[in-house]
Amino acid sequence: MKTERKPHLIKKHTDMKCQRVEGSVVPGLEEATQVGHLLAEPKSEHVSVDRVLCFGKENLEKHLKMEDFFSCALDYSWRINCGGLHGQGGDDLKLEVLDGLLDEVDEADDIQAAHDLSGACEDFQLDIEFPEKYSESDCAPHEESNLHNLTSQSHAPGFSGTRSSAVGTLESSIATIRESNSKNGVLEKMVGCDLHHTFKRKFGCQAPVTNTIRSIIEHKQNTTRSIIEHKQSFDESDDDEKPLVSFIFSTKSVKSTVEVTKGGSLLRQKRLRKPTNRYIEEFSRNSTTGKNKRLKVGSQGELPQVASELQRRRGHPKKIVPKLELESDCELSASESEDEHKRSKRSKMACDRRKHQRMWTLAEVIKLVDGIAQYGVGRWTDIKRLLFASSAYRTPVDLRDKWRNLLRSSSAHKHNRRELQCETKPKHVVRPLPMPLVCRIHELATIHPYPMARSPKKPSDRYVPSSKQPRTTEAAPSHSPGRKLRRKKCR
């Protein structure tokens, strides 16, 4: 092959890397530099990382300068820092990708998944697709090269399909790096670093998150290898690749690596990914909410609608751990699709209701209160069906629970206001409910007394008793009142 050029390339890359690092005088470029670093490192060590990351090999032969690519990365980072990428969307993308990575590693042991790979991969790529303008305006000069490399090195059609995927892979390749370099501690660190910085920049204080993620990934690295063995035994036709793959993982060496990658076996292993539950669910929400952040061009766009409905029923053992918790609580409109960051995983089969604490956004609360005002307390399924149809999570029971909590907190609110009126500050007000909302809740509570509200536990504030009959107002007493207190006394 063209291996004789390798030494040359190594040197070149290394030099550039150094240049870049040294050149990062401007604080703002720090992150960008790391991106560049991240990209450069695998190449300089000749660890086969990913299609796109590897494109340097051929691109260089085409006299494409890494410098240019770095500037792409720089610009990319700059845009993110400036909120240029869809504003929140940028964050979403990162999280999405990151979460996806974990899922990917997690679910990779499903052999079947390995063969869904290319398809899933494609969607995944599309999902994290970056604004077209970016790839066109900034990477235009390299467009051809990128395309070439993508097509020549990737067996997944999705990668050659979109130019912007070159940038998208920049993100997703982080996963690949992790997976394919289980032994590369340095790289690992770097990636972690990069993630850390990125998150810190985005969310101010997300260090724990990245740490968690990192540890999770580390835990899973062992698994990765066995996954690969799995895969190998499955691909019987690729016999001669096995040694190579093993070789890659046992050493950091090189030359053959690229060839293996081209062979496609490694690619498939790395990119293992069937659409995660999260992906499915999120898609369904986005499409129903009508506020898609990313356009799904994916071929299988509609599938999730049904799937999410199927899997939202509960009744699953709990596994899972909430992973990320980024709750932007104050946004009414955006919150719906935003609070999408904790997910469960790891269920060999069957779906899990990966709920486990999904924070209620203010918007949701308001919606719930509206619903209660409309349909009355106790019609949880109705409310769910009519107002929360778009959110697959939030079962009627959840609504009820939330209402219960709202009652409690709202009453506490009042109490606090009375008792602590003069007091300095009410400790740590966790999620300060907006006053109007509290009032509304209160009103509703008196109109539709929730059975529990009358229990000694919560004497409510003044007034509750007797008149459960709604005194006019609002839309709907409608439902038979008997339904509500029906069982209270039986116990």
Q: Which is nearer to DNA, 54 or 399 (CB)?
A: 399
Q: Which is nearer to DNA, 233 or 467 (CB)?
A: 467
Q: Which is nearer to DNA, 193 or 452 (CB)?
A: 452
Closest separation between CB of residue 426 and DNA, Å?
23
Q: What is the spatial distance between Cα 485 and Cα 479, in angstroms, rounded to a whole number?
A: 12
Q: How many CB atoms lie within 10 A of CB 402?
A: 17
Tabulate helix, strand, coil % of the chain (nearest 5).
Answer: 65, 0, 35
Q: What is the spatial distance between Cα 99 and Cα 253, in angstroms, rounded to a whole number?
A: 29
Q: Which is nearer to DNA, 290 or 317 (CB)?
A: 317
Q: What is the spatial distance between Cα 275 and Cα 119, in angstroms, rounded to a whole number?
A: 9
Closest separation between CB of residue 208 and DNA, Å?
20
Q: Which is nearer to DNA, 19 or 328 (CB)?
A: 328
Q: What is the spatial distance between Cα 348 and Cα 143, in angstroms, rounded to a whole number?
A: 41
Residue pair 116/156 in contact (Cβ under 8 Å)? The answer is: no
Q: What is the spatial distance between Cα 345 and Cα 449, in angstroms, rounded to a whole number?
A: 39
Closest separation between CB of residue 402 and DNA, Å?
6
Closest separation between CB of residue 224 and DNA, Å?
28
Closest separation between CB of residue 327 and DNA, Å?
12
Measured CA to CA in angstroms, residue 371 lies from 89, 362, 407, 446 at distances of 30, 14, 15, 16
Contacting positions for DNA (CB under 7 A): 314-315, 317-318, 353, 355-358, 360, 377-382, 393, 396-398, 400-402, 404, 450-452, 455, 457, 483-488, 490-491
Q: Which is nearer to DNA, 166 or 392 (CB)?
A: 392
Q: Which is nearer to DNA, 440 or 448 (CB)?
A: 448
Handedness of CA 309, 114, 145, 19 (dihedral sign): positive
Closest separation between CB of residue 352 and DNA, Å?
9
Closest separation between CB of residue 482 and DNA, Å?
10
Which residue is associated with the tokens 């504003």?
87
Q: What is the spatial distance between Cα 6 and Cα 331, in angstroms, rounded to a whole number?
A: 52
Q: What is the spatial distance between Cα 253 and Cα 250, in angstroms, rounded to a whole number?
A: 9
DSSP state of 456: T
Residue pair 464/446 in contact (Cβ under 8 Å)? The answer is: yes
Q: Which is nearer to DNA, 69 or 380 (CB)?
A: 380
Closest separation between CB of residue 97 and DNA, Å?
23
